[in-house]
Structure 1
């Protein structure tokens, strides 16, 4: 957009009315003058005296925040700080304490120079005042517009009841504009979770006096502008001295005036890193407690500190935990509320043809609980359902249950009818291929039935047995787990796995073969149920009968599967339900003697193995920096592909991260197969405990990245007796030594050692491993030269899926890559390309070519300075990158230093988007310049720009490179060939790990 389209900035005008009111004392009689006289006063006198021209700019704050301004006024002819801001400062400096230009542009990466130009805004502050404020964007961590709005609405209205609340106009006028019009509101309204005005005024009486004297307009303004920030705390729960003592490097940064105070660092970075703000607050532990992490992931809070402050202020005093009986009583009351509703609108279970599911309920009295279970079933599963209710002599409203339920078959038995009698009487009437045994008061969750049914439709693979029974994750009335599958011990005792744990506990959230389940929520193959003739009448307890059914099914090679998505809640918990009678235990051991010989004895140390039943699947511990979600990029997509392939090959995989994760649990679960255990709450300090609890469990330990092997080596050796020491794999992902050497070369630094020596040092613990995996031939050669012969290659899996758009239907350049930290290869390449290459591409093409930048951004990564360049569009992480690949014409990968193989180049090419990459990436890929890829030198921006421009402008050349890359991917990176290569590695390692 041409410069003439820019509008006059909102913040640039003199506001006479505001000036008159704000400086009435300084103006004296002149306050009564007209607007022109006041503006003349400001130009001739007020600006030099440090007065502000309008409510949008704080002259005193600006001079205090930027010490060079006073000198600039004296030396360079600037009249005031506002004069400096108007000419130069608006580009990257902030106008007041409640708006930070860098913070605003960093927080909202969509506000690039191109976006600002389209809106006619000169800078971020101008955009904020024009539209951002009314969009409830925030310009500073010290002003949360939604919080201010909510608090304002809760305040008593001075207007009559029939008139709108004054705060109701905030969405139209803007929260920030409202505060600027009445700055004293900051002392009585919550403006953010990072400042407590009432506490501040009570703690520092001198501030209250300064407000009365008119030196400051609010406590918040005093905090943001006072000249001795180290002497004032924003709120009770941050200690400046504690923070600087705990983190000396921050103290050095404050002393160097990189930060105004330790608290500024904490608000900008420390709270996101979960550093400790106070001796009594452990943000890391708090983050992993309750719903804190989930609330942050949902965007309800920016960080754990804000969440902690908010909970402390808004949560009622915690009450002692309720007894289980109280929860059960409340569940019964909820169930009773259904009676009147269903009397008017009965549940309809009528169907025609063959039903998709048969349901059997054994009931006796407890009519409300029966209705609650059936209502939940009907609400969560709408497909045709055959319902058989077996009533064992009920004397309550169950006797007339037909008035509440349509289409059910009701079988009446005597009051002494057992669960086995109920199943036997129902069995001849079941016509669906799958049956659900459902207890009274057991309420199925959303999608639970469908999740369990899917296992009966699936075809077994990789040597897996067919599924005969499915049990699920059951939750008690208090919201804790009742059972996540059960463990049957050699002595005949039964243990509910993870009873009392949180439902989202990682160990409860993956499907697996189990010995049995014990709750009355069991899905069974109907044909198998017929062969087994239902429950055995020999057993006294329903739990023993369910266990026996699973053991008899196992003898017919039909397994019991635990499915966590088969989520159900129970309204009552019988403490003895999972405790088998001595007679039942003896009968089980007698009738299944051969099976019991292979069961583990009841030892807590064997629980990790016992929970997996008798599954023959090989167990792999997969270690990575983080849980390898696909959106993280930077090698994590490859790791995710490896985990998926391991699962397809029939192995039981446990993912163990070195660092705790912040990705939403919904994203984690969506990114992995359902049978993969993801220990998302694990971190390095927990590995000793993990390996102790799981001694002897794993057949293979796959360690991603060389630095993780170095970190874990002492722990692995300490637990050597319980680990497959011949089954450890080092997956280098990308050697760091060559990358570090290239980085040093670009920076003109001298390396203290050769690349070969650095590779040897990086592989210092590789001797522990049965196999060392490299992603490229270049890395494999470097590892062999370091003295290791057990090297195998495993690159990327990338099935081709070319998008149909032709050359003429596409435009612009695309860069996709995760940037976890400043200075990383992706960050370095993006900065270099935007600063040195993109302007030359735009000039050479003579067109308004834009560069779209997409990908995950790590905490503290700020690309706002790049967004100031013409033609740059910053998207951040995107949900569907395929849409970008389908609309852009050329993908750029100007990586200047890296190791391994670039995943995003493979991905872009797989979508049919030709790539211009650095010569380095071309060598790593083994692709030929001009055939599968277009390569350019990173030491010659002009040459690189010409390579981009030539591919962009030449339709025939573009088409040839597109076809060549697709052909190469088909040959080298298909799912089938990738899985075969991985299987070769695993078979070699697993064979060596066997005793």
Structure 2
């Protein structure tokens, strides 16, 4: 089908966005009431308007006073090697910043004095905690670095120029790259100028052996430069590598003595060893470029840059044949390590500590990255959501926000031709954007991620309430979702029940089941003994959870309290409306609100309850409890599509008395409790593991054509 013209796509997008906002506002008023709806509107508006403070205003430069005391741990995790030649003032400034960084990582600092002729040999040995080593002869940058590495005791070597000012937390973030991404062989910091401009966000190596500091002179916190990303090399001004790997590779190669291209050559050898290089933007280092070696390529140390480029090219010519040409677009060149370029659209930035949909989305993003994709994420509210956005960036997701995003039509006009796949979650997110995607990214495979079939949930809610207006709204949602299923190249649902429903409603559609995704906890499950109480977890922005909490507290709990007057119901979850908060006044009910760490409740309560009377999709609250070995008593609606066998994996009842009886049965029978606990964990491992989801994603990605280079 021919794509509509650009002006028409933009017009349809704006009209569709307005229509979607209006309908969602009306549904929210019906379900949540005026106060809750208005509060949500104000929260979203405030978030979207919250600007990021300028980086330059946040840079820290310690005062130039005295000799800074440095840590001297018996077992350092990191050995920071600082090669110096003269420039004592620069070196002391570097050491002061290290002393003031506040990093939790135990580190030692080794200064290698390369036969300085200034006061360095008289002053530096007096710095408390510093390991000072002086070369008898000037060995050059490479020789000094290798000499420092030979003295190191830490698991990690961190090479740091003396013309740098590290920022608080830089080392913790740099080493965290290796923990989060175990295939990392070398990691480099984000380098900025003292005035806050970006100096380097990882490096690009071109086919002719020339190099480029990606992002040079650009806005340092632009979304392009704010996420962990593979790089061709990382500047030796601030990089980390495991000491064992550095030694196995023979250190910096003296072939490039005295300096330049030694870091690029090391990067090629790290990659040759089967490991990856990553740029870590959370590790922020101010580099006073040129302060120690100058900037004139025809004089001093810089003069070796040109000759060493020829040496580098001669050594790596075959490998460099697959690199981009020197005139290639740098943004495309920076993503050359990815298999596919994927855009993910959702209503907001995932908050995995608050709702199960966010847990699933975060896991999907992680799996896409692990499958070698370059992933851009655009939230509908177009806001930087603080720590939640930074969490995506730490995974490696290119999260976009305003003002860098600009208008969505303009963003897609610029970036749409690069996309291989677009995943749009929720019908109200995809519907307005669909014309833009077909205009600016017609080549991209369009995946409609339903999250759950909204019309099914809305219909069940309306039937429970006997509300004809809501029934009509549910039918409108049904038509909208089915239209998107027909328009998309592929549709994801979270349960086989919904897949079967779509096969009847839209028999020509390509439908895959990509359900909830959970990592199995590694710790041993506490036994029945010592546990007490019932646990219900859910975000109360979701109307089915409000209804379930009220029904459980007001109609089911009285049966239970009649049997055991000490039994407690724990209601956990953010955004509880007054109706749920008031339940805390009932005997046996405790309303916790948002709980950042659920582990004590999951390990301490005896049962999890899921008394949902309507809804759709797969319930994360059940997945979470079962994964932690906490048996579940639920309604039929709650376990729909979860491969759970009533009586074997969970206990099920749909009326208040039956639910109470099932709860008491599991609560008081240790043998039954243990059987349910073991069966629930096995169900989660079989159907909701990352590997189960990975198989589905691989099927989708396998249908994409090879990425255009």
1:661 Cα shift? 5.3
Q: 1:472 aligns with which of 176, 179, 189?
A: 189
Residues 1:674 and 2:395 are matched in the alignment = yes
Number of residues of Structure 1 aligned to a counterpart in Structure 2: 663
Instruction: Work out the CA distance in 2 between the residues paired with 1:847 and 1:350.
Output: 55
Query: Is the deviation greater in 963-972 or in 825-834?
Result: 963-972
Residues 1:630 and 2:345 are matched in the alignment = no
Residue by residue over 1:913-939, the C-alpha shift from the partner in whole angstroms, topping out at 9 and shown as x without a partner, is 2222222223332423322222222xx
Q: 1:568 aligns with which of 247, 270, 285?
A: 285
Q: 1:702 aligns with which of 399, 415, 423?
A: 423
CA contact (8 A) 2:613 2:635 kept: yes
Return closer, same or farther for 1:651/1:607 CA change in 2, 3 Å cut-off: same
Residue by residue over 1:950-995, the C-alpha shift from the partner in whole angstroms, topping out at 9 and shown as x without a partner, is 444455544443344334334333444443x334434433358789
Q: 1:390 aligns with which of 113, 118, 126?
A: 113
Residues 1:876 and 2:593 are matched in the alignment = yes
Residues 1:819 and 2:533 are matched in the alignment = no
Residues 1:273 and 2:75 are matched in the alignment = no
CA contact (8 A) 2:426 2:449 kept: yes
Residue by residue over 1:651-672, the C-alpha shift from the partner in whole angstroms, topping out at 9 and shown as x without a partner, is 443333222457541x554578
Residue by residue over 1:783-813, the C-alpha shift from the partner in whole angstroms, topping out at 9 and shown as x without a partner, is 2121234222122234555864444533332
Residues 1:410 and 2:134 are matched in the alignment = yes
Instruction: Work out the CA distance in 1 between the residues paired with 2:353 and 2:471.
Output: 36
Aligned pairs for 1:442-841 (under 5 A) are 442-446=164-168, 448-449=170-171, 452=174, 467=185, 469-479=186-196, 481-488=198-205, 492=210, 494-497=212-215, 499=217, 501-502=219-220, 505-518=222-235, 520-523=237-240, 525-527=245-247, 530=250, 533-534=253-254, 536-537=256-257, 542=260, 546-547=263-264, 550=267, 559-570=276-287, 584=305, 588=309, 591=314, 598-600=322-324, 606-612=329-335, 614-660=336-382, 664-665=386-387, 668-670=389-391, 674-679=395-400, 686-720=407-441, 724-725=443-444, 727-750=445-468, 759=478, 761-785=480-504, 786-798=506-518, 801=521, 804-807=525-528, 809-820=530-541, 824-841=543-560
Instruction: Work out the CA distance in 2 between the residues paired with 1:775 and 1:861.
Output: 31
CA contact (8 A) 2:427 2:480 kept: no
Return closer, same or farther for 1:671/1:834 CA change in 2, 3 Å cut-off: farther
Residues 1:990 and 2:704 are matched in the alignment = yes
Return closer, same or farther for 1:460/1:956 CA change in 2, 3 Å cut-off: closer
Instruction: Work out the CA distance in 2 between the residues paired with 1:490 and 1:793.
Output: 42
Instruction: Work out the CA distance in 2 between the residues paired with 1:848 and 1:350.
Output: 51
1:497 Cα shift? 1.6
Return closer, same or farther for 1:394/1:911 CA change in 2, 3 Å cut-off: same
User: What 5-or-longer segments of structure 2 have no aligned partner?
Assistant: 1-21, 26-32
Give the TM-score normalised by structure 1.
Answer: 0.58
Instruction: Work out the CA distance in 2 between the residues paired with 1:603 and 1:763.
Output: 46
Give the root-mean-square deviation of aligned CA atoms: 4.6
Aligned pairs for 1:18-417 (under 5 A) are 269=39, 272-273=42-43, 286-290=49-53, 331=61, 334=62, 336-339=64-67, 357=79, 359-365=81-87, 367-377=88-98, 380=103, 385=108, 387-391=110-114, 393-397=116-120, 400-404=123-127, 407-411=131-135, 413=137
Residue by residue over 1:629-665, the C-alpha shift from the partner in whole angstroms, topping out at 9 and shown as x without a partner, is 2123142212222223334444443333222457541
1:716 Cα shift? 0.9
CA contact (8 A) 2:146 2:251 kept: no
1:578 Cα shift? 8.0
1:338 Cα shift? 2.7
CA contact (8 A) 2:619 2:639 kept: no
1:502 Cα shift? 4.8
Instruction: Work out the CA distance in 2 between the residues paired with 1:770 and 1:816.
Output: 35
Question: Which of structures 1 and 2 has the larger relative contact order (alpha carbons within 8 angstroms, sep 6+)?
Answer: 2
1:818 Cα shift? 1.0
Instruction: Work out the CA distance in 1 between the residues paired with 2:535 and 2:179.
Output: 42
Instruction: Work out the CA distance in 2 between the residues paired with 1:355 and 1:778.
Output: 51
Residue by residue over 1:473-513, the C-alpha shift from the partner in whole angstroms, topping out at 9 and shown as x without a partner, is 1243345543322345668463442645355x544343222
Residue by residue over 1:700-737, the C-alpha shift from the partner in whole angstroms, topping out at 9 and shown as x without a partner, is 3222223322132122112125xx52x33222210012
Indicate the structure (1 or 2) with the bigger Cα radius of gyration: 1
Instruction: Work out the CA distance in 2 between the residues paired with 1:418 and 1:766.
Output: 64
CA contact (8 A) 1:487 1:495 kept: yes
Residue by residue over 1:63-83, the C-alpha shift from the partner in whole angstroms, topping out at 9 and shown as x without a partner, is xxxxxxxxxxxxxxxxxxxxx
Residues 1:888 and 2:605 are matched in the alignment = yes
1:901 Cα shift? 0.8
